[in-house]
């Protein structure tokens, strides 16, 4: 998923609040209910009798419903995970800025007019 829900609109504080939801006991139940709902929608497509009148129209409608429900559930869960990761990274940066990766400086030049530190003169 290239873009996720709320990617450009949530503040860091809102992301932290959203991340805190995943630590609540009810979070796993919510995920399980979303999964069950997706499974029920998919099974409804399978249970449809192919000899039933209007089968093609009905199966197309059931598949569209199942696909929409599965996509929404997946987008929601993946977005929460993405926001949680961003929130945790930002909190780590605030607690210890040295954890932020800085690429090594390969070349260091002595700029004229800047004194050489004492250790290097000896």
| Arithmetic mean of pLDDT, 26-34 | 94
Query: Above 90 in pLDDT, residue 7?
Result: no
Is 5 a domain residue? no
Task: Give the DSSP H/E element, type plus range, for residue 19.
Answer: helix 12-21
- Predicted confidence at residue 94, as pLDDT, reads 80
Q: Does residue 92 sit within a domain?
A: yes
Q: How far apart are CA 12 and CA 88, in angstroms?
A: 10
Domain that holds residue 45: 12-116
Domain assignment present for 24: yes
Does residue 114 register a pLDDT over 50? Answer: yes
Query: Does residue 11 or residue 36 have the better pLDDT?
Result: 36
1 pLDDT more than 50: no
């Amino acid at each position: 998923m290239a873009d996720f829900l709320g990617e450009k609109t949530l503040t860091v504080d809102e992301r932290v609040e959203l991340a805190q939801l995943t630590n609540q006991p009810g979070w796993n139940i919510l995920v399980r209910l979303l999964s069950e709902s997706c499974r029920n929608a998919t099974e409804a497509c399978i249970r449809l009798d192919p000899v039933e009148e209007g089968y093609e129209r009905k199966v197309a409608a059931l598949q569209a419903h199942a696909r929409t429900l599965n996509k929404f559930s997946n987008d929601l869960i993946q977005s929460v995970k993405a926001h949680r990761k961003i929130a945790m990274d930002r909190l780590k940066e605030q607690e210890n800025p040295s954890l932020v990766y800085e690429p090594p400086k390969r070349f260091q030049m002595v700029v004229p007019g800047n004194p050489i530190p004492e250790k290097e003169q000896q």
